Structure formats: structure tokens, C-alpha cells
Amino acid sequence: MTYINEDPESLLAALDRGESLPAHWYTDAAITAREIEKIFRKTWNYIGPAKELANRGDYITGYVGEVPVVVIRNESGLAGFVNVCRHRRHEVMKGRGNSKIMQCGYHAWTYDLAGCLKGAPRSAAEPNFKLADYPLLPLRVESLGPWVFVNLDAQAKSLTSYFGDLLKIVEGSGVHLESLELHNREEWNANANWKTMLENYLECYHCAVAHPGFSAAIDVKPENYDLTMHGWFASQLGDVRQSALEGKTSIKIYDVRGEVTQSQYHLLWPNITININPGFPNLSIDVWVPDGPNLAKGFSEQYFGPGVSENFAKDLIAFNKQVGHEDDVLTNSVQRGLIGGLPDRGRFLTNSEHLCIHFQRLVVQALAGDAVPLKQAAAATAVPISSKISVTPTPSMSAEREGNS
Ligand SMILES: [Fe+2]
């Protein structure tokens, strides 16, 4: 493994030339650990739909940068907590649902909906023990349209300052966010680094080659398919093909006719994607997280407008799964290439893969340390990235990497 020329400025300069990040950025457990610390624990993480948190006591659990979290509605509104008991650090709430209290299933320490510890069996006899000293740790919760996000970083800018402009674009598709209803939710696992998968998501250069059904439905010609970076989110917009509307496709696809005639594919930094396809109003939202350096995991929620037919729902879900399977085959292959480490750098086409380049820039900047301007970070020391961006792997992560590699 070499770290030559891996200071942030060199990496950013290489990206400007279309040279990708080095292969080990996709296989090194120390890089993944740094991403969890510097990216996932400092950004807005999607937790679930606001409609599932409408009533007092409604809650959803999830994870942010490996930290178990829970969002619950109490008298004051939505509240977020680290979903870990102050006693022995067992997870307090499970799954999702409605509850009058938050009670840990290990020793029955019991918190109210504001996260205050109200009961701990045998604690009355414990010297110097006050319930008030052990509330659940709070975290930030904010909403964007119909979606609820959390952030472990108390200093982070507001959710709407990141993604507020996205809502207008989404509404322009003909999908009305407030009317959407959750149809199904699935968890998934994949055999590639989370960045490998999202960089595949961020370009449609491969669509004509690898997605025959998708390319029959959507006009993927570069002059008609728009890729735009909006700072903290990236958008791809494509129109439905006339031949698809007329049912004249050489490959069987779902019925694309309906009030939505534009497809939209958005990435919200760092790891949330929102998809809209032509036809009956529909939207899916996916979350992609690292599961060690060479694996990813996440969940997918499929929404439809009211009154969707089961046939359309079934056909669109099958269409999305087919595209997802085709992408998995691609990204699994890329990950095998990255694990081998040769060639060390890839070469982007800057006119078709500029969203991938921007994504990699954000990764480099985040790992360089968001509190220090890049120029300062590079000038501070001439040592290679192994000591500036990479970190020493923990024993558990070293074991994981060996297992996955
Ligand atoms: Fe793809």
C-alpha cells in the first residue's frame, strides 16, 4: 500500500484531472473508521417518515455512524436520543411502534418520553445515585418535507440549509410529497464499499450498456439527461421516452404512463438517495452505509401516491429491483478490482462523471477535517495521508478487514 501524494490538496488536484481516489480508499478499514467519524457522525441521517411519528409515543429506531438512535414524539414534538441505556449500554428501544415509556429490556431502567430516567430497580439503596444524573443522551432531530432526519453533531447547520432546495425540484416531477404513502420497507446487504455503490449511482454513462430496461423507459442520451450538483445534493433528471409511453419498447418494462413524466434521482450528502420514476406517482428513498470497508448495508422505502394499483406497485418494484440487481453486479465487480489494488487510480470522464468527482471531493474534504481549511491542513505537515487522513485501525476493524478482503 502506498500513500505517495495523498495529502488532500494532491488528491483534489488529481480529481480535477479526472483521476479517482486511490483503490485503498475503498478497502481500508482505517478509511472506513475515519468516514464514520468525520462523515456519518457529522451529517444528517435519514431515520424514517414523519407519518410514522404522528402520535405521542410513536417511535422509530435506527443507527447513525454505528450509534443506535431513537426518535420519539413526546409532548413537545419530536425528540431524538442515543438509544443506549445509561446503565450497561444495552439498546433501549427496538424497531418501531408506539410506547408510553422507554424501558431497557436488560435491567428495566425506565425513561420517560423526554429521555429522563424515572426508575431503576434497587437504585434507591445505591449510595450517591441520582436518577436525574442519567438521562438518555439527546441528539438533533429535524424534518424535511415528509421525512425525519437526525444528526449527532450539535454544531451542524440546519437540515433545510443542506437540502431545502431539493423539495421544489421533487415537487416539479408531479409527485406531491405530502400525499405519499409508504408501501413497503426492506433492508439490504451488498458486497461493495458504500462509495463504490454511490459513485455508480451518480452517473448514467453506464445506463445504455448495463440497464436495457431502464434505458428503454428513460431517455439516457447525454444531451437529454441532466446531471447537476447543487452543493450538498446531486440531481439527475431524465424524461420518459415517447416509445415507452406508446408501449413500443424492444424489452418489456412497466407501464410508464401517468402524471409523472420525468424521472429524478437525487443523492443527499452523504448517503441518502431519492428516486422518482415515470408513471403513477411514486418515490423511493434509500440509505447506504458502510458495513466494514468491503461491504455495505442499508434500507429502502417505497412510496406511492394514494390509490396505486397493486399491479403498478408490483411492476415498478420489480423494475427497480432489476436495475438494482444490474448495479450490484457492476459494483461487486468494481469492488473486486479495488481489493486487488491495481490499477491504483481510475480515470473519470469529466463530462459524464462530474457528480462522482464532486462526491469524492466531499469525501476528501470531510476526512481532511472539516474544522481546518484544506490549504492549512496540507501546509501544516508534509507527512503523507497515512497519518493525516487514515488512522490506526482498531483490532476489531483489522479483523473485519481481513475477514472481508
Ligand atoms: Fe446503474
User: How far, in Å, from the CA of 327 to the mean position of ligand 1?
Assistant: 5
How many CA atoms lie less than 13 Å away from 276 in the CB half-sphere?
A: 30
User: How far, in Å, from the CA of 232 to the mean position of ligand 1?
Assistant: 21
Q: Where in the chain are all domains bearing CATH 3.90.380.10?
A: 1-44+157-405
DSSP 103-163: E-TTT--EE-TTS-EEE-TTGGGSTT--GGG-PPPEEEEEEETTEEEEES-TTPPPHHHHH
User: How far, in Å, from the CA of 83 to the mean position of ligand 1?
Assistant: 35
pLDDT of residue 376: 40
User: How far, in Å, from the CA of 207 to the mean position of ligand 1?
Assistant: 6
Mean pLDDT across the chain, nearest whole number? 91
User: How far, in Å, from the CA of 206 to the mean position of ligand 1?
Assistant: 6
Q: Where in the chain are all domains bearing CATH 2.102.10.10?
A: 55-151
User: How far, in Å, from the CA of 181 to the mean position of ligand 1?
Assistant: 26
User: How far, in Å, from the CA of 275 to the mean position of ligand 1?
Assistant: 12
Hey, what's the cell of 37?
467519524
pLDDT of residue 370: 52
- For the segment 312-355, what is each residue's pLDDT rounded down to a tens digit? 999 999 999 999 999 999 999 999 999 999 999 999 999 999 99
Let me know the angle formed at the C-alpha of 325 by 47 and 253, rounded to the nearest 5 degrees: 100
Q: Is the pLDDT of residue 385 over 70?
A: no
| Predicted confidence band of residue 6 (pLDDT cuts 50, 70, 90) | confident
Going across the sheet that includes 181-190, the strands are 181-190, 296-304, 282-290, 272-276, 262-268, 233-239, 226-229
374 compared with 38, residue with greater pLDDT: 38
Average pLDDT over residues 221-244: 96
In angstroms, rounded to a whole number, what is the distance separating the alpha carbons of residues 107 and 87? Answer: 8
pTM over 0.75: yes
- For the segment 75-110, what is each residue's pLDDT rounded down to a tens digit? 999 999 999 999 999 999 999 999 999 999 999 999
- For the segment 111-132, what is each residue's pLDDT rounded down to a tens digit? 999 999 999 999 999 999 999 9
The candidate with the shortest Cα–Cα distance to 257, out of 282, 241, 239, 279, is 279
User: How far, in Å, from the CA of 330 to the mean position of ligand 1?
Assistant: 8
Fold held by 1-44+157-405:
Naphthalene 1,2-dioxygenase Alpha Subunit; Chain A, domain 1 (3.90.380)
DSSP SS3 for 341: coil
User: How far, in Å, from the CA of 210 to the mean position of ligand 1?
Assistant: 7
Q: Among 1.10.3720.10, 3.40.50.10540, 2.102.10.10, 2.30.30.40, what is the CATH number of 55-151?
A: 2.102.10.10
